[in-house]
Amino acid sequence: MRLFNTVLKIMASSSILLFIFFEANAQNVKAGTEWILFNKGWRFNLGDVPFPEIRGHDHSYMNAKAGQAGGAAAPDYKDSSWTILNLPHDWAIDRPIDASANLSQGFRKRGIGWYRKQFKLDSADRGKNLELQFEGIATHATIWLNGSVLHRNWCGYTSSYIDITAFAKYGNAVNTIVVRVDADAQEGWWYEGAGIYRDTWLVKRSAVHVITDGVYANPVKLTSSGNQWLIPGAVTLQNSGKEKVQALVQMSLWDAAGKLVDKSENKILVPALDSTSVLIKLQANQPLLWSVNHPELYKVKTIVKVNGLQTDSLWTSCGFRTIRFDADSGFYLNDKRLKIKGVCNHHDHAGVGVAMPVSIAEFRLRKLKEMGVNAYRCAHHPPSVEFLNLCDRLGIMVMDENRNFNSSPEYLRQLQWMVRRDRNHPSIILWSVFNEEPMQGTEQGYEMVRRMNHEVKKLDLTRPVTAAMNGGFFEPFNVSKAVDLVGFNYQVASYDKFHKENPTLSMTSSEDVSGFMTRGAYKTDTSKHILDAYDTQYAKWGTSHRTGWKMIAERPFVAGAFVWTGFDYHGEPSPFGWPSASSFFGAMDICGFPKTAFYLHQAQWVEDKSILHLVPEWNWPVDSIGKNIKVMALSNAESIKLFLNGKLFAEQKADKYEMNTWQVPYQPGKLMAVGYVKGKEVSRYVVETTGTAVQIKLTPDRLSLKGDGLDAMPITVQVVDARGRAVPDAQHKIKFELTGSGAIIGLGNGDPNSHEPEKGNERSLFNGLAQLIVQTQESCIAGSITVIARAEGMKAAKLVIPVKAGVSCK
């Protein structure tokens, strides 16, 4: 950490030296060059298509030649019987839950699949630079174009950028991309999905262009006082033309209102078939700072000109903020102390698996913000670009995590890719090189991390490198000595000892809690794989949510929390096995419906508004009348009064860590809590016994959708009594019918034990709730989606969602 601070000081005092450290590249806002979303019209075959056996001289000879791939990789392979589909695609989520499949992967078979796509290129594209991009393929991918193998990617979370210029055919000739995906390969112990599950792009650029992730524009504060900033900009150009050229690169900084802040330019010689970087300084005086409450973003425009003609231009988003970790007092954002209130998450959701539309990712991040979360650990793999853009925009700090712990060349390449792609995002405050590695307390582990940290520093000096350790902290050789910030996974009993023995090392929890809850269930029944939602159940290496936060909140030297997890996810159904198929760890279930832990953290973490929530719901069977029911209030008030059917039942001083509980003899009716601060009422929450369900209710997450074929939203499904009150213990099976310009793309209900399909048009409520996810079709005229929901004995519900035109048609 001292080294890191020193480097920051060096950077602040010498911009010349700074340039030595900064190489080019970065995440870009997609604009300028022609970015063609290449998601549509792929042919897909589930199952392997074995290559023909190679026999005899002629066959062997030709098989060894460029452009001569055989079997399903051959351009002329007959694929007409294959399914036609659009990406992103996760074939595992379509498959049934199957006892013979791996528990970690949610008991869903993965297997092998093939994709093919044919396309033509305009003759006018000749001379351009063409790049094919796959943002994420689970898990091992081999990619061919026109019969030549172009790329192999053996990490399901890193993108592939493939220069196809030399292989491309123009005019009437057909180009054929083939991707073989081996999803039997596993990189995790959680659900990883299967297939081309993130966006795919064809990028057409001029011969002299900025390479992908080729703009580095991460602002650095110049002085400790005042508000003077430097963007040590670096741009990497490539020239696929035949002659060397002199390029002029212009960079300009713009604020959110579109006002120019600074501009500068520089010239560079770009040899043919080579790439080179140019450095350009931009300055800003008194910019608006990026923070979790005010995530101010700026944009950098990069223009490339050759002989006065523009050959490339693109926008890169960035933010002005400082970060600092202190060994005694934790984390500082813009020099203000901020306790990290983070959650860890994988990247799947009910119904859609890992092929998650951006709008669903946004829905999830908004739910986390509502819970009081200010940080997100991408456990244990890099997220999508769109996800990071959302975190920048919504003000959520990110621990960006590398998947594979290895310092050999191929794995360093994966780490470099992550840092190059992501280093302009103001949301990213930490790079994590691993999670819980058995070598963490060994000389080999130490040496590997030392190398990985060094590799990160070559690309970004502004963020600390951490590793999520769950042991080895006190070994003579251990990874804590090779990182800038020590990450603790659990091991809460070692916080004080470690800090005492290593007073100069900064530390954070990188993972904590691992509590178990079934949403809406208040009695543990292990025979039925149900775990109560009173925060009494947790993994043996973890703690309750309440203890976990108390341990961190009371220790200023622990920078913050990263609760395992914000949402349930498919797979890892600990502490159970079959038939449970998804996890119990989330503060929310897999649909994003809050569990008690959501309200608990809200009470602990939200500071700017009054929080009060009661569990359980107040619908108990008649034989419970007179029997004690445990009632828990989740609140940030100072004291709470509890009223049963209008009569004061009890008053308690609120306990901000433990929360408040009572044993209340059950009487149907109304249970009400009132929260007070300084003797004044600040909050009120009521749970009421409902009547029987008579009607279905559909609640959309937003008022309208965009008809771009991408926009999606969850619709909450409930049943209500005659007075319109949602019935919390309802388990009805609901059937859906959708008409209009969209489709149902997934279903869920948050029950980790459910084996109902996540695709189709019916789903049971689980403890009163289910979720339907709808997505629009591309349309150039405004329209609507109509959903009708029906269940036996229930009045149907009809929901009409307006769909705005998503594309303009001539």
Residue 576 in contact with ligand GAL, rule: CB under 6 A = no
Report the DSSP beta bridge partners of residue 215.
Answer: 235
Q: Are 251 and 264 in contact (CB under 8 A)?
A: yes
User: Kind of pairing, strands 228-239 and 274-285?
Assistant: antiparallel
CB atoms within 10 A of CB 95: 21
Among 159, 240, 291, 514, binds ligand GAL (CB under 6 A): 514
* Min CB(602)–ligand GAL separation in Å: 22
- Given the complex with ligand GAL, which of 143 and 467 has the nearer CB atom? 467
Binding positions for ligand GAL, 173-212, rule CB under 6 A: 189
Return d(Cα 324, Cα 318) in angstroms, integer.
Answer: 18
- Given the complex with ligand GAL, which of 522 and 538 has the nearer CB atom? 538
* Residue 422 in tokens: 């992501």
- Given the complex with ligand GAL, which of 498 and 676 has the nearer CB atom? 498
* Min CB(538)–ligand GAL separation in Å: 9
199 three-state secondary structure? coil
- Given the complex with ligand GAL, which of 422 and 572 has the nearer CB atom? 572
Residue 12 in contact with ligand GAL, rule: CB under 6 A = no
Residue with smallest beta-carbon separation from ligand GAL: 514
Q: Exposure pattern of 237-265 as b/e (b: 16+ CB <10 Å)? A: bbbbbeeebebbbbbbbbeeeeeebbebe
- Given the complex with ligand GAL, which of 524 and 661 has the nearer CB atom? 524
* Min CB(523)–ligand GAL separation in Å: 23
- Given the complex with ligand GAL, which of 85 and 539 has the nearer CB atom? 539
* Min CB(585)–ligand GAL separation in Å: 6
- Given the complex with ligand GAL, which of 573 and 768 has the nearer CB atom? 573
- Given the complex with ligand GAL, which of 386 and 572 has the nearer CB atom? 572
Binding positions for ligand GAL, 424-443, rule CB under 6 A: 435-436
- Given the complex with ligand GAL, which of 489 and 636 has the nearer CB atom? 489
350 three-state secondary structure? coil
CA 738 centroid distance within chain? 29
662 three-state secondary structure? strand
Residue 539 in contact with ligand GAL, rule: CB under 6 A = yes
Complete DSSP assignment for 429-475: EEEEEEES-GGGGSHHHHHHHHHHHHHHHHH-SSS-EEEEESS-TTS
Return d(Cα 363, Cα 349) in angstroms, integer.
Answer: 11
Return d(Cα 603, Cα 635) in angstroms, integer.
Answer: 5
- Given the complex with ligand GAL, which of 345 and 506 has the nearer CB atom? 345
Residue with tokens 């771009």, as numbered in its chain: 708
* Min CB(569)–ligand GAL separation in Å: 10
* Min CB(539)–ligand GAL separation in Å: 5
- Given the complex with ligand GAL, which of 155 and 181 has the nearer CB atom? 155
* Min CB(511)–ligand GAL separation in Å: 5
* Min CB(433)–ligand GAL separation in Å: 14
Return d(Cα 175, Cα 167) in angstroms, integer.
Answer: 9
Q: Exposure pattern of 320-359 as b/e (b: 16+ CB <10 Å)? A: bbbbbbebeebbebbeeebbbbbbbbbbbbbbbbbbbbbb
* Min CB(435)–ligand GAL separation in Å: 5
Residue 564 in contact with ligand GAL, rule: CB under 6 A = yes
Binding positions for ligand GAL, 219-248, rule CB under 6 A: none
Q: Are 262 and 253 in contact (CB under 8 A)?
A: yes
CA distances in angstroms from 482 to 211, 416, 423, 443, 454, listed in the order given = 32, 18, 21, 11, 10
* Min CB(509)–ligand GAL separation in Å: 12
- Given the complex with ligand GAL, which of 119 and 541 has the nearer CB atom? 541
Q: Are 270 and 240 in contact (CB under 8 A)?
A: no
- Given the complex with ligand GAL, which of 77 and 569 has the nearer CB atom? 569
Question: At 550, which helix (H) or strand (E)?
Answer: helix 545-553
Give the per-residue contact string, 377-416, with ligand GAL (x = CB under 6 A; - = no).
Answer: ----------------------------------------
- Given the complex with ligand GAL, which of 93 and 563 has the nearer CB atom? 563
* Min CB(572)–ligand GAL separation in Å: 6
Residue 466 in contact with ligand GAL, rule: CB under 6 A = no
* Min CB(490)–ligand GAL separation in Å: 7
Length of the chain in terms of residues written: 810
Residues binding ligand GAL: number (CB under 6 A): 11
Closest CA to 420 of 466, 456, 470: 456
Contacts of 809 (CB under 8 A, 6+ apart): 780, 781
What's the Rg (C-alpha) of the chain?
28
* Min CB(387)–ligand GAL separation in Å: 18
* Min CB(603)–ligand GAL separation in Å: 23
* Min CB(434)–ligand GAL separation in Å: 10
Whether omega before 139 lies within 30 degrees of 0, making that bond cis, reads: yes
* Min CB(546)–ligand GAL separation in Å: 17
* Residue 679 in tokens: 């003797």
Return d(Cα 71, Cα 304) in angstroms, integer.
Answer: 43
Return d(Cα 63, Cα 438) in angstroms, integer.
Answer: 43
Residue 511 in contact with ligand GAL, rule: CB under 6 A = yes
- Given the complex with ligand GAL, which of 189 and 254 has the nearer CB atom? 189
CA atoms within 13 A of residue 502's CA, in its CB half-sphere: 24
- Strands (DSSP E) found in 353-427: 375-378, 397-401
Closest CA to 150 of 36, 91, 66, 92: 66
Return d(Cα 106, Cα 693) in angstroms, integer.
Answer: 32
Residue 376 in contact with ligand GAL, rule: CB under 6 A = no
- Given the complex with ligand GAL, which of 161 and 189 has the nearer CB atom? 189
* Min CB(190)–ligand GAL separation in Å: 7
Among 25, 200, 489, 509, binds ligand GAL (CB under 6 A): 489
15 three-state secondary structure? helix
Give the per-residue contact string, 673-702, with ligand GAL (x = CB under 6 A; - = no).
Answer: ------------------------------
Complete DSSP assignment for 554-592: T-TTB-EEEEE-SB--BS--TT--TT--B-S--SB-TT-
Whether omega before 668 lies within 30 degrees of 0, making that bond cis, reads: no
* Min CB(362)–ligand GAL separation in Å: 24
Q: Give the sign of the dihedral formed by CA 202, CA 207, CA 212, CA 218.
A: negative
- Given the complex with ligand GAL, which of 322 and 510 has the nearer CB atom? 510
Q: Largest Cα–Cα distance of the chain, in whole Å?
A: 93
- Given the complex with ligand GAL, which of 574 and 777 has the nearer CB atom? 574
Residues that bind ligand GAL (CB under 6 A): 189, 435-436, 470, 489, 511, 514, 539, 564, 572, 574
